[in-house]
Structure 1
Amino acid sequence: MSGIESFGLTLLIVSAVITLALVSNRISSALRVPAPALFLVAAAAASDLVPTLRQVSLGVVENVVTVALVVILFDGGMTIGVRKLRAALGAVVSIGVLGTFLTAGALAVAAHLLFGLPWLLALLLGAALSPTDPAVVFSVLGNREITGRAGTTIQGESGANDPVGIALLLSLAGVTASDGFGGAFLGVLGKFAVEMAVGAAVGLVGGWLLLQLVRRVEMPSEGLYPLRTLAVSFVLYGAATLAHGSGFLAVFIAGVLVGDAAAPFKREIERFHSSLASLAEIVAFVILGLTVSLSSLFTTNAWWIGLVLAVLLTFVVRPLVVGPLLLATRMPWGDRVFVVWSGLKGAVPILLGTYILVSGRAADVLAYEIIFVVVLFSVVVQGGLMPIVAARCGIEMRERPPRPWALGIRTNEEPAGARRFRISPGAPAAGRTVDDLHLGEDLWVSLVVRSGRQLRIRGDLTLEQDDEVLVLADPDSERDAAALFTAHSQQ
């Protein structure tokens, strides 16, 4: 076979795999199993059937998954935005930072006492399993939207605690036996504090600069605007990493800052990053699945140790750690229970497991296989039961079906005062007519779309939940249009 034919065969196989993965949502819905679990298991099974697939070096795996996570975290930050994150910031910070530390410590104690793992390896295992995963969270939610602060808290936690978990594990990996307990503890805290501070600073400054760049520097083609934001997100990751900070935190914060901002071609930028994040999720789980042999899981103790730790993590550790941290919030009890349940593990724990696996020792291989089992349990059991738990907790998970048609106009200048809202449950505008809203002369409803159909704007038109409205406001007005169309808990 010639070189060009070999390359063509490679492209055929890769594109066929991606195509099958893209249509796997139908299979996932039918089996009620989240798509990431299918990617992991299918890739692991393929590596058993074709052992040469497992010859991909760990360095390549780590680099590919790192690139995928940068894309996923930036898109996740844009999805949340500043306004939504502000309402849940206290909960996100408490469970994303303190909760990650406490979870890592509790899992380390369980792994050491129950299974006799050395303390350092147990701590590394706990740090690897402590963060939740944005790829799984966003994949499981899919086109569903969770009302209230619960959805923002889950998404914000998955974006915030990944940098925390990664920084914690890398700090622990630098510990040596000669450091002593006190020196090791101070060293871990010092490295962690530096990574978080530098990452946050780069994210805040870089996000602000990115906004100025998008708003003020024109590009010759609209297709270049999304590519520019993608390039800058990697610039921020690289800058933060070179400055000994958390590149993942910098990218996530920058995405949050961009999320709510008005900018030219913003919808095109959002659609591009959303599509790219979906592809990154597939690539991350497939390449991570190739590093594990399903057959080897059952020839060691990995499967039952992982199962025990997964059950402890889901039903004991996370409720005892995250539950009390959420008491300070004003979230209803159903929202708190749902947040506790939704701490899904995924690509990030497995990526951290590759850092443990570098030495190649038998104990490290066992730890890596344990992480794989825990992640598989979390994705299948926790992820699969999320809709059921949401219903029992009184959480509304509304489907957002894709809308293939759009109505709009292009302008050379940013339309001053134009805002688009989807009327949320409990918003003042829901169930009231346009006349009842007393909008006055500085605020008026320009367009209403209901179930894909444009409605004629009249004074007696009754607005309903889930209506999409385009509002025009006087730029000098001090009235807050969001207060009319968005429930207070979501502002």
Structure 2
Amino acid sequence: MTVSVELVLFVISILFFLSILASKAGYKFGVPALLLFLGVGMAFGSDGLGIQFENIQVAQAIGTISLCIILFSGGMDTKLSEIRPIIPQGVVLATFGVFLTAILTGVLIWWVLGMTMASTGIGLITSLLLAATMSSTDSASVFSILRSKGLNLKNNLRPMLELESGSNDPMAYILTITLIEIVQMGGEPDYLSAFGMLFFQLIVGGIAGYGLGKLSVRLINRLEIDNASLYPILVFTFCIFIFSFTYLIQGNGYLAVYIGGLVIGNTRFVHKRSSVNFFDGMAWMSQLLMFLTLGLLVNPHELIPIIIPGLIISFLMILVTRPLSVFFTLLPFRKMSFKDKTFVSWVGLRGAVPIIFAIILLAEEVPHARLMFNIVFFCTLVSLVVQGSSLSQMAVWLGLAEKPSELKKMKNFDVEFSDEIKSVTTEITITANTLKSGNHLMDLAIPENTLVVMVKRDDKFFIPTGKTTLQEGDKLLIITDNQEALLKTITNLETTAPSDLSTTT
């Protein structure tokens, strides 16, 4: 039976739309959007509405490209000034932390499966391989959950967690590939060769990401393209080039593309704002597509036999192996408090990356690959439900959540400024209380360094002057060069509560 392209596009559009609706509802109830994307894929899969999707190669390609875009976007959104103080902690967690997690988890998986599924005959090396696929925190999950919830964390914890999740995939990938070779050969592990390959790929990936990132910025600024819409596409082209070129020279493409995004995002270049916004949308689309694909790939009925061992493994990773690896690797950093380390332990989110690594097991036809894929998928579901849903509450319990900004993004004015322009904009609604001192713009008690640059009345926009007569219900676009002046404006105007206002910086 031949399936038309139009039918495939129709199904994809329905899946995307339902996933977006599910994420909107999930955000209201505190459920991670990525979990709902998976749920929609499973609902439409072979055990749901019957969509048959078993193409491992296509799933692996979608996962690789999507992860590349997510890491690059995460790097572009990360401010170097924020991560500079916590680079040592992030690097240690991304390397030794991942290695220790894989070893501890592998031993416990061997013990758990020996107790609950002895008939499968899974040995220690295979258990270590299964653990390696789940040893890194998932960048897609960490980026989306921390940022979508607007979680403000004390002590530079958020940039450290994002740095860890964005740079720890290479270690998990190399461990996975090395253990696959060992399992397939059935021989003794060549530890020297494995460690040599690990450090070689990390060094090449880091150098390539930094060098190609710098080269990309220089080319973007020197190429004079008449059509400004092509600049985000140009940045996307460099993203794909950095990943693929690094892979061709035997480096780690995942690390290179994250560092490349970090370098490009922290450098001035032409049409930077539009490129950043473009990649933000691309990252969310990639996450949606990736999790939908993974949801379609799994057969839910195959998860039933592994529920008990899956739950045991999941909670051992959440409560034992992740905390042990975090506390041990962060021992040299005595300034980090017990609460800080506890929260870092809790943000051991699993997501698409472990499942993508498990797809590699299927593609390589590793013994017990389907069983390992199902366990990884189940553990990812548990991680997103338990850790993803409780992230904000855990930060509050530990006293690590800072009071978030009370000002929301603007709704009536589609205006943005470059990051280099240190300005803050907000919009306010004129009320009867605002007009008590007079109904002209010059009558408003606006402090210095603050301007009203535009007024929206009904569906019309106009630039005001001091003599402009204001009406109740008018929306005013205000710009200031510092946050204090903005807050002073809000206080002086005494319109509505700050939580009803909108802002962008």
Paired with 1:19 and 1:39, the residues of 2 have a C-alpha distance of: 11
Aligned positions of 1:15-94 closer than 5 A: 15-49=13-47, 53-94=51-92
Structure 1 residue 23 displacement after superposition: 2.6
> C-alpha distance in 2, partners of 1:324/1:193?
21
Distance 1:466 1:165, change over 3 A: farther
Q: Cα RMSD between the aligned structures?
A: 3.0
Mark the CA change 1:352 to 1:456 in structure 2 (over 3 Å): closer, same or farther.
Answer: closer
Counterpart mapping for 1:196-345 below 5 A: 196-298=202-304, 300=305, 302-329=306-333, 330-345=335-350
Letter in 2 for 1:207: G
Identity of aligned residues (%): 28
Q: 1:105 pairs with 103, 106, 110, which one?
A: 103
Partners in 2 of 1:284 and 1:267 — Cα distance?
26
User: Offset at 1:466?
Assistant: 13
Whether the 8 Å contact between 2:205 and 2:256 is mirrored in structure 1 is yes
Contact 1:124 1:356 in 2 (8 A): no
Give the Å deviation of 1:216: 2.3
Farther-moved stretch of structure 1 (6-15 vs 97-106):
6-15
Residue 466 of structure 2 aligns with which residue?
Answer: none
Distance apart, 1:338 and its partner CA: 1.5
SS of equivalent residue, structure 1 residue 250:
helix
Work out which of the residue numbers 12, 15, 29 in structure 2 matches 1:14: 12
Instruction: Identify the residue that residue 154 of structure 1 maps to in structure 2.
Output: 161
Q: State the one-letter code of the partner of 1:82.
A: L
**For the residues of structure 2 that align with 1:463 and 1:403, how far apart are their CA atoms?**
14
Matching residue's letter, 1:235: F
- For 2:310, give the aligned amino acid: G
The answer as to whether partners of 2:153 and 2:395 remain within 8 angstroms in 1 is no
Specify every segment of 5 or more residues in structure 2 that has no aligned partner in the other structure, as ranges.
115-121, 426-447, 453-474, 491-505
Alpha-carbon deviation of 1:2? 11
> Which of these residues, 365, 369, 372, is aligned with residue 364 of structure 1?
369
User: Aligned residue for 1:169?
Assistant: 176
Structure-1 separation of matches of 2:266 and 2:201: 26
Structure 2 counterpart SS, 1:146? coil
**Per-residue deviation at 1:420?**
4.8
Distance 1:146 1:466 in 2: 24
Tell me the CA shift for residue 175 of structure 1: 2.0
Q: What amino acid is the match of 1:386?
A: L
3-state SS, counterpart of residue 297 of structure 2:
coil
CA deviation string 1:166-200 (max 9, x = no partner): 1221122222576854x521222122122111111
State how far apart, in whole Å, the 2-side matches of 1:191 and 1:275 are.
35
1:32 shift after superposition = 2.5
Shift in alpha-carbon separation, 1:406–1:41, aligned structure 2, 3 A: closer
Distance 2:84 2:226 in 1: 35
Is the contact made by 2:210 and 2:259 (CA closer than 8 Å) also made in structure 1? Answer: yes
1:188 alignment partner AA: A
2: CA distance, partners of 1:158 / 1:457: 34
**Gap change, CA 1:244 and 1:144, over 3 Å in 2:** same
How far, CA to CA, are the matches of 1:90 and 1:252 in structure 2?
A: 17
Structure 1 spans left out of the alignment, 5+ residues: 423-444, 468-491
Per-residue CA shift, 1:366-388, capped at 9, x if unaligned? Answer: 11111011100001110000011
The number of residue pairs the alignment matches comes to 433
1:46-71 deviation digits (Å, cap 9, x = unpaired): 22346863433111100011000010
Superposition pairs for residues 458-473 of structure 1, below 5 Å? Answer: 464=487
**Structure 1: how far apart are the matches of 2:317 and 2:360?**
21
Q: Is the 8 A contact 1:154 1:343 kept in 2?
A: no
Once residues 307 and 63 of structure 2 are traced to their aligned partners in structure 1, the CA distance between those partners, rounded to angstroms, is 24
Q: Following TM superposition, where does structure 1 have runs of at least 4 consecutive aligned residues deviating by more than 6 angstroms? A: none
Larger Rg: 2
Letter paired with 1:91: Q
Q: Deviations over 1:215-247 (max 9, x none)?
A: 222221221111111111100111111111111
SS at match of 1:454: strand
Amino acid at match of 2:104: A
Does structure 2 conserve the Cα–Cα contact (< 8 Å) formed by 1:195 and 1:246?
yes
Contact kept, 8 Å, 2:152 with 2:401, in 1: the verdict is yes
TM-score if structure 1 supplies the norm length?
0.81
Between stretches 152-161 and 191-200, larger displacement belongs to: 191-200
In structure 1, C-alpha distance between the alignment counterparts of 2:365 and 2:390, rounded to whole Å: 35
Is the Cα–Cα contact under 8 Å of residues 150 and 336 in structure 1 kept in the other structure? no
